[in-house]
Structures are given as C-alpha cells and as structure tokens.
Chains A and B, each alone.
Chain A
Amino acid sequence: MKMEYKDKLPNNCPPKDAQEPNNFTIFRMVKTIPPTDIDFVSHFKLFPDKNYENMKCEALSVSVFNRFESCKELLDIPNHRGKKIVKLNLFQDSGRVIKSSKDKSHYSWWIYANFSPLANYEEIT
C-alpha cells in the first residue's frame, strides 16, 4: 500500500534510499512541552515563500538526530535557546528517514500523513 506523506512531495522525494525505520530512536527540538503540531512542520511549510530551488525535498523533511548530544549541542545556538528536546521511536508507519548532512547523527524524516508525533513523543529535557 502506498503511504501518503504529510506534505505534497515533488518527484523523487524522498530519495529512493530513504528507509522506513524499525524501532529507530530519534531526538528533535521542540518549542514547548507538550509539543505542538508546529514543532513537526517542515521548514518549507513554515516558510513557503522562501526560495528552496535545489533544497526543496530536504526542506520538506524535518530534521532529527539519532544521538541526543548532537541535538543538545544545537541548544547553544541563539536561534534554538530555550527549546526542549523530545525523543521518539520511529517504526514503519512513521515515515521514511535518510542519513543526511555532515553531522553523522543527522537524519531527514518525511512524516507519513497518518502518523502523529504528538501521540508518540517522550520528554527528555
């Protein structure tokens, strides 16, 4: 069965080697505890008027880390100061992920339409 994503994705997005995870632990920054929908909205959806030309597919994903320390380090940057970190365990029905970026623990996650991160998170900080 073909799964629908939260966002309408362009052709070849996500990349073919993006995988459906199987009990894959990830960490993401959120503005508040409890998190809200906006904490799991892609940058493209949040700021649709920016020019994403060669970055559209990536901008339609949400960033996550499979290592807590990498996520925590970002809290030191002014733009993320005061944010919280939540943990989620991703399964096949959560979407597709691929290792991306130069941080070895960074993944891009394209969320399936039927998956609710808000019903599956665990508070870390």
Chain B
Amino acid sequence: MSRAIRHLDTLVYYDMPQIFIGEDQIRCLYLCYILKDEEAGSRYLCTPVSTETLHNFKLGKTSLRDIFVNSELKEYYECIINDFNHQAIPLELFKDELTDDILPSGRGFVLDNFDIDTDEFAKKINKCPNAISKYTHEKLRQRTERIKIDHNMPNMAAA
C-alpha cells in the first residue's frame, strides 16, 4: 500500500496553507511545508514528526529547518495538493539531498506568534505509533545506559 496523508490542521496560512500537519493511514503525523505553488498544484515537503516536536514547534522552541534537518526518522516525502479535502493525498519518497535551496533559510522559520490557547488540535491529537518522541528516545537511552552499568558492575567489582 502506498503512503498517503490527509490534511489535519493548518499551522501557518498565507493565501493558502503554508505549513500543515498531515496524518497517514496508520495515524503517523507529518509536518509539511510548501516548496512551490503552481497551477498543477502546490508542492509540499513532509517529514514524520512526534507530537512533542510539533508542540515545541508551536511554542517557537524549534525551527522548521531544525525539524527537517534533525528529522526523527530521517524520512522525507513530497506531495502535490490540489484539494485539501482529499482524504488520501499520495506521498512520494523524496530522494534528493536536503539542500539549502529547499530548506527554510534565515532563522529557519520559527513560530513566535502561534495561538496555542485556541489550538484544539493539540488537545485532540493522537499519538503517532511510528514517530519516536525525543522524550521516549532519551528515556530508552538512559535505561540502556543503566542496564549497561548494572551489567558491568559485578565485573568491575570482580576486577
């Protein structure tokens, strides 16, 4: 089955959605931003994101550029949208390098005026089973480190 998303929520609007959240068939979330707007459709670049990353973006704690450069799964897709009501917008794997000409420049686009208080989506959001949150990742790393230490302790004592 090919990967497809539906538009869930627009984070930045300017004449049309500029940055939006999409959701795929298994409810994984994607952050997408516009690359080019043409008659044939608007071309977006997307990457899977965790709810935590989305939240930090909304709070202005991380830039759009950082989210893509440090993408949690290092997966990138592009899609062309003519109809935001379409429930299955096909995603194509983006195989090119993430070069500066397609990445946000300057500060990398930081949301510093987002109305988080009225963000209904944040309340309803479902956790993505595929995207590993940085928090979970860090907890797993710490646990692994502890196990390593515990495992090494007897040997160290014996030594």
Which A residues fall within an 8 A CB radius of B? 29, 42-43, 47, 49-51, 53-55, 58-59, 62-63, 67, 69-70, 73-81, 100-106
Contact = CB atoms under 8 A, between A and B. Distances in A.
A70 B113 contact: yes
The 8 A-B pairs with the shortest beta carbon distances in the complex, nearest first, are A51-B83, A101-B13, A76-B106, A43-B15, A63-B14, A76-B109, A76-B104, A79-B34
Interface stretch (B22-30, B114-122, B135-143): B114-122
Most buried by A among B82, B110, B118, B119: B82
Nearest to B33: A77
A106 B16 CA distance: 12
B85 interface: yes
A79 B106 contact: no
Contacts of A63: 13-15
**Interface magnitude class on chain B:** 35 or more
B94 interface: no
Contacts of A62: 15
- Main secondary structure on A side of the interface with B: mixed
A104 B60 CA distance: 14
Contacts of B97: none
A33 B150 CA distance: 67
Contacts of A29: 14
B39 A49 contact: yes
Given A76-B104, A76-B106, A50 B14 contact: no
A80 B35 CA distance: 9
Interface of B: 10-16, 18-19, 33-37, 39, 41, 64-65, 82-86, 101-115, 118-119
Contacts of A42: 15
Given A70-B113, A104-B115, A76 B16 contact: no
A78 B102 contact: yes
B12 A81 contact: no
Contacts of B15: 42-43, 59, 62-63
A73 B112 contact: yes
Contact of B107 (A73, A81, A105): A73
Most buried by A among B15, B16, B39: B15
Contact of B18 (A49, A54, A74): A74
29 contacts: A29-B14, A43-B15, A49-B82, A50-B82, A53-B83, A59-B16, A63-B13, A63-B14, A73-B107, A74-B109, A77-B19, A77-B33, A77-B104, A78-B34, A78-B35, A78-B36, A78-B104, A79-B18, A79-B34, A79-B37, A81-B105, A101-B12, A102-B10, A102-B12, A102-B114, A103-B12, A103-B13, A103-B114, A106-B14
